Amino acid sequence: MDTHVDPLEIGARCAELLATGRRVATYKLAVLSALLQHCTEHPTAPGEPLRVPIADLADRVVDLYWPQVRAFSGAGVLRQNEQGGRSLPDVVRELRAAAHAAGLSTPAQLRACLPGEYARRRREVARTLAQQPLTALQRTGTAAPGTAFLYDDTWLHKKVTTAELDAHGWSVELHPGVPAALARVAGLLQPVLQQWWVADVQRMNAADLGAPDLHGFLFGADRADLTPVRAPLTDLQAGRCFYCARPLREDTHVDHVLPWSRVAVDGLANLVAADRRCNLAKSATLPALDHVARALDRADTDLRAIAAPLRWPVEHARVTGVAAALYATSPPGTPLWREPGVFDLLRAGDGARFAA
């Protein structure tokens, strides 16, 4: 395969397949979003391949469905699969129940505190991904299904066995040039995937769920999950908003400095206490470089003092790596949120500020 891959062409081919193919579940959208996140966090040089563990994709899919398996207003738990039987959200709901029983809030906590419980169900999620969305992600489902332009899928099929997965190391290898291309278009594709996801959930539940509220429910940060860290983060910031330094009030938000919708990282190194005005204005926009630098410069001992009693991960190294990748793969001129109504513009090479 030609290693000189045009990112826009790759993005357009992914979008075209998803737009024209029939989606009977949200699984394709979830696994492509997971692939985009993985490529963003694991940057490669143009022209290089990348082996992606299916278990890593399973972790990210669990993270995506985690806030979505709660009851949505009067509609209850939303259906995300037109077919019957056990679904991926069912597995995630079981994981969430196990976390709740153990006094845990997030998938990262569950992975750290109950690794055996989590690993068993992650294997089930990984097998489902291999049998369904990874098998069909690059195909049209017609008599002329097209070529595998992202990764070799000739060994994947709806009844792929554990032995076959073992033989391939439970991983797929992205073709040369594809990882860098996906990382480059991730910021463009993710909002599109989310809009299709909202439309699919509305269709599968045959109800007027209210698109704006539904989008926030599916893809906004799970406020209830972040409640345990709100008070200690507020204390760490001396009761002031991380962004504007105004005194915080009762409606204090816990914000992901690097947007959760871009890469779902709940580590304390990526969380701050913010006032409602700043949090809503920032939304899913990349923040100004100074905001990220200040978040990463917080004393490790302070964050670990918060993390220990809550059994909450800090993930400083991961957040640093994600920051470097996000800014390196965003084009010069990308708006960076500084304060409500004020943006900086990304310059070439700015991502190097967070490189190891």
Within this chain, do residues 21 and 81 fall inside the same structural domain, yes or no?
yes
Does residue 1 lie in a domain region? Answer: no
Q: Is residue 56 domain-shared with residue 141, that is, in the same domain?
A: yes
Residue 312: its pLDDT value, please?
94
Better-scored residue on pLDDT, 209 or 234: 234
Same domain as 117, residue 43:
yes
User: Which pLDDT value is given to residue 154?
Assistant: 92
Among 140, 134, 139, which Cα is nearest to 173's? 134
Position 143 pLDDT exceeds 50: no
Among candidate residues 177, 203, 218, the one where a domain is terminated:
218
Task: Tell me if 268 is assigned to some domain.
Answer: yes
The answer on 204 and 291 residing in a single domain is no
CA–CA dist 257, 270 (Å, integer) = 5
Same domain, 263 and 236: yes
Q: Of the residues 172, 203, 218, which one is the last residue of a structural domain? A: 218
Query: How far is it, in rounded angstroms, from Cα 199 to Cα 197?
Result: 5
Q: Give the rounded percent of residues in the chain with a pLDDT score beyond 70.
A: 94
Report, as an integer, the average pLDDT of 285-305. 96
Residue 38, domain member (yes or no): yes
Q: Which domain holds residue 302?
A: 222-354
Report if residue 234 sits inside a domain: yes
Please check whether residues 164 and 304 belong to one and the same domain.
no
Would you place residue 331 in the very low, low, confident or very high pLDDT band (cuts 50, 70, 90)?
A: confident
Q: Give the model's pLDDT for residue 144.
A: 44
What is the rounded CA–CA span in Å between residue 320 and residue 356?
8
Claim to verify: residue 212 and residue 239 sit in the same structural domain: no
Q: What is the pLDDT of residue 73?
A: 78
Same domain flag for 180 and 253: no
* Claim to verify: residue 150 and residue 202 sit in the same structural domain: yes
Give the C-alpha separation, 6 to 177, whole Å.
8
Counting other chains too, the contacts that 79-86 makes at CB distance below 8 Å and 24 or more residues apart are 79/201, 79/204, 79/205, 80/25, 80/26, 80/200, 80/201, 80/204, 81/24, 81/25, 81/26, 81/27, 81/204, 82/24, 82/25, 82/204, 83/24, 83/25
For residue 14, CA distances in Å to 20, 105, 114 come to 10, 33, 36
Mean pLDDT in residue range 276-284: 92
Domain annotation covers residue 2: no
Q: Cα–Cα distances in Å, from 78 out to 122, 196, 227? A: 21, 15, 24
Residues in the chain, how many? 356
**Do 325 and 196 belong together in one domain?**
no
pLDDT attached to residue 1 = 44
In a domain, 179, yes or no: yes
- What is residue 208's predicted lDDT score, i.e. its pLDDT? 63
Number of domains the chain is built from: 2
91 located within any domain: yes
The reply to whether 205 and 284 lie within a common domain is no
Q: Is residue 30 part of a domain?
A: yes
The per-residue pLDDT for 141 is: 55
Kindly report, residue by residue over 72-130, the tens digit of the pLDDT.
Answer: 877 788 999 988 788 999 999 999 999 999 999 999 999 999 999 999 999 999 999 99
Q: What is the mean pLDDT of the chain?
A: 91
Residue range 5-12: average pLDDT?
91
Clarify whether residues 211 and 280 are in a common domain: no
Pick from 202, 218, 234: which residue ends a domain? 218
pLDDT at 170: 98
Instruction: State whether the Cα torsion 135-137-139-140 is positive or negative.
Output: positive
Cα–Cα nearest to 336, from 350, 325, 317, 322: 350
